[in-house]
Amino acid sequence: MARTILVFGAGKSTSYLLDYILKKSKEENLHLLIGDINPENISTSISSHKNCTVIALDIFNDDERRKAIVSASIVVSMLPPRLHIKIAEGCIHYKKHLVTASYISKEIQKLDNDARKSGLVFMNEIGLDPGIDHMSAMEVIDRIRNQGGKMLLFESFTGGLVAPEHDSNLWNYKFTWNPRNVVLAGQGGAAKFIQEGSYKYIPYQKLFRRTELLNIDGYGSFEVYPNRDSLKYRDAYGLQDVLTLYRGTMRRVGFSKAWQMFVLLGMTDDSYNIENSEGMSYRQFVNLFLPYSPTDSVELKLRHYLKIDQDDIKWGKLLELNLFDETKRIPLKNASPAQMLQYILEDNWTLEADEKDMIVMYHKFGYEIDGKKKQIDANMVVLGENQNYTAMAKTVGLPVAMAALQILNGKIKTPGVQIPIKSEVYRPILSELKQYGINFKEYEVPYLGYNPNSIGS
């Protein structure tokens, strides 16, 4: 009898995940069961496969959800993070392993003891970032420690961007994953990290003006802004005594300074709704955040408010988004400013069918061994194929699929709620990812410690 891998949700990040399972289905005796609210959106190349069954499934329907979980050998959730708990509780009750690409929530963490008692692997954060970042970092950190080295510095940066040949707008950016997460990035508290032994806290309103510059051979320059909490992995990585610990998001140079305009205007605010949002023009939306003037145009008020000139590249970036168009309308009812901004950006920043995206990841490892300070820099670049088979889908979906199969085959067996930082997890998955062109280039560089080229450090 075939072993059933149940996948909840078949959205943008699942193309490679589903293909991987089906390609392995014959040799591994697998059956793929996909439960999705909109099964008609799943490609026929997937749904028509003889080892695949697609069902219409509402995650809030307790009976549908229960039946699907009961029938599974292992469960993968690719749904929004807030919905994982419903699936996780079912997995505990019916004793099924669970795999997600999402951060561990407090609710999921509370299931750790129950998972351990039942011998269940609840693998989380096994996508790209979080995921490949954890595994690739721990591979090098463990290697350094096994050689007798002491970690002094760890920095890690990831970006989902446009491939160079399709980098065609002034922002050097298009959406390659959940647009809402991009619009809300950095909110919910100050960014926290350690630099040369000093704790740093950056409030949201200053986040996009505190950037560091990086260069990747063959791909040019990038900037990095800090993630919200770089310190949460101190214990997991065993970096309690490290002098510098900094995780961030990569963008092309100039993006953050331009994004700061939206922050200053209040357009990224998701805490309240605008009653007359439905049918509002892009121009009216912009005018919401500007002072009243009986004579000045919206354009003039905005330039005065942000103190930017007409020949400033930032002004060109705003014009490119059609922000002052009176004919373009926002069809969202009672939407927040962040939701309205997201709609406008999706109108401009959606990948075309033949366009490719790009994933970049960059690690810095500073350490001391035999009394000498050394540094390893490592970077990874992955290019997508098209709008559906993106680098984002590849780097998120493949680790999830590989982890599910490793757990199903008893290769990953340490029970409990966890992230992929143990060698039994990262070694086989990183090794297999290389077969798909997902691998890191490492460079021995002089130990720099504090980077004097950081902006606003």
Residue with tokens 């992929």: 420
Residue 403 lies in a domain: no
Q: Return d(Cα 163, Cα 52) in angstroms, integer.
A: 32
Listed residue (346, 415, 438) closest to 131, CA to CA? 438
Residue 155 lies in a domain: yes
pLDDT at 264 over 60: yes
Do 357 and 228 fall into the same domain?
Answer: yes
Question: What's residue 452's pLDDT?
Answer: 44
Residue 106 lies in a domain: yes
Strand duo 52-56 + 121-123: pairing: unpaired
pLDDT tens readout for residues 278-291: 999 999 999 999 99
pLDDT at 298 over 50: yes
Burial classification of residue 205, based on how many CB atoms lie within 10 Å of its CB (0-12 exposed, 13-18 middle, 19 or more buried): exposed
Residue 172 lies in a domain: yes
Question: What's residue 451's pLDDT?
Answer: 56
Mean pLDDT of 112-116: 97
Secondary structure class of 341 (helix, strand, coil) = helix
Residue with tokens 């069902």: 55
Domain boundary among 95, 124, 153: 124
Q: Annotate 99-132 with three-state secondary structure.
A: EECCCCCHHHHCCHHHHHHCCCEEECCCEECCEH
The vertex-85 CA angle with 82 and 90, nearest 5°, equals 150
Q: What is the mean pLDDT of the chain?
A: 93
Q: Return d(Cα 376, Cα 42) in angstroms, integer.
A: 42
Do 297 and 233 fall into the same domain?
Answer: no
Question: What's residue 450's pLDDT?
Answer: 55
The vertex-120 CA angle with 400 and 79, nearest 5°, equals 40
- In this structure, are residues 191 and 202 in contact, taking their beta carbons and an 8 Å threshold? yes
- In this structure, are residues 322 and 300 in contact, taking their beta carbons and an 8 Å threshold? no
Tell me how many domains the chain contains: 3
Burial classification of residue 105, based on how many CB atoms lie within 10 Å of its CB (0-12 exposed, 13-18 middle, 19 or more buried): middle
pLDDT tens readout for residues 213-251: 999 999 999 999 999 889 988 999 999 999 999 999 999
Question: What's residue 456's pLDDT?
Answer: 39
Provide φ and ψ at 286, rounded to 5°.
-60, -40
- In this structure, are residues 147 and 366 in contact, taking their beta carbons and an 8 Å threshold? no
Do 58 and 189 fall into the same domain?
Answer: no
Domain boundary among 104, 124, 144: 124
Written as six digits, the tokens of 61 are 């329907």
Count of C-beta atoms within a 10 Å radius of residue 37: 15
Element (H, E) at 300: helix 298-306
Domain boundary among 77, 101, 124: 124
Do 47 and 106 fall into the same domain?
Answer: yes
Q: What percent of the chain stands above pLDDT 70?
A: 98
pLDDT at 448 over 80: no
Q: What is the CATH classification number for the domain harbouring 139? A: 3.30.360.10
pLDDT tens readout for residues 36-46: 999 888 888 89
Distances (CA, A) of 116 to 94, 120, 354, 415, 416: 14, 6, 46, 5, 5
Written as six digits, the tokens of 120 are 């269940």
Burial classification of residue 139, based on how many CB atoms lie within 10 Å of its CB (0-12 exposed, 13-18 middle, 19 or more buried): middle
pLDDT at 159 over 70: yes
Do 120 and 148 fall into the same domain?
Answer: no
Do 164 and 144 fall into the same domain?
Answer: yes
Question: What's residue 146's pLDDT?
Answer: 96
Count of C-beta atoms within a 10 Å radius of residue 51: 15
Element (H, E) at 287: helix 282-287
Residue 450 lies in a domain: no
Q: Return d(Cα 18, Cα 256) in angstroms, integer.
A: 35
Residues spanned by the domain of 315: 273-335
Do 356 and 313 fall into the same domain?
Answer: no
Residue with tokens 């959730």: 77
Residue 341 lies in a domain: no
H-assigned helices in 2-76: 15-28, 44-47, 62-71
Do 174 and 224 fall into the same domain?
Answer: yes
Q: Torsion angle of alpha carbons 201, 204, 205, 211, nearest 10°?
A: 70
pLDDT at 326 over 50: yes
Residues with Cβ within 8 Å of residue 272, at least 6 apart in sequence: 336, 337
Do 25 and 113 fall into the same domain?
Answer: yes
Secondary structure class of 166 (helix, strand, coil) = helix
Residue 233 lies in a domain: yes
Do 170 and 44 fall into the same domain?
Answer: no
Do 248 and 173 fall into the same domain?
Answer: yes
Provide φ and ψ at 396, rounded to 5°.
-90, -50
- In this structure, are residues 373 and 396 in contact, taking their beta carbons and an 8 Å threshold? no
The vertex-244 CA angle with 103 and 124, nearest 5°, equals 15
Listed residue (84, 421, 96, 64) closest to 238, CA to CA? 421
Question: What's residue 29's pLDDT?
Answer: 95
Q: Return d(Cα 390, Cα 398) in angstroms, integer.
A: 12
Q: What is the CATH classification number for the domain harbouring 108? A: 3.40.50.720
Strand duo 97-100 + 198-202: pairing: unpaired
Residue 309 lies in a domain: yes
Question: What's residue 176's pLDDT?
Answer: 84
Secondary structure class of 290 (helix, strand, coil) = coil
pLDDT tens readout for residues 355-400: 999 999 999 999 999 999 999 999 999 999 988 899 999 999 999 9
Do 249 and 285 fall into the same domain?
Answer: no
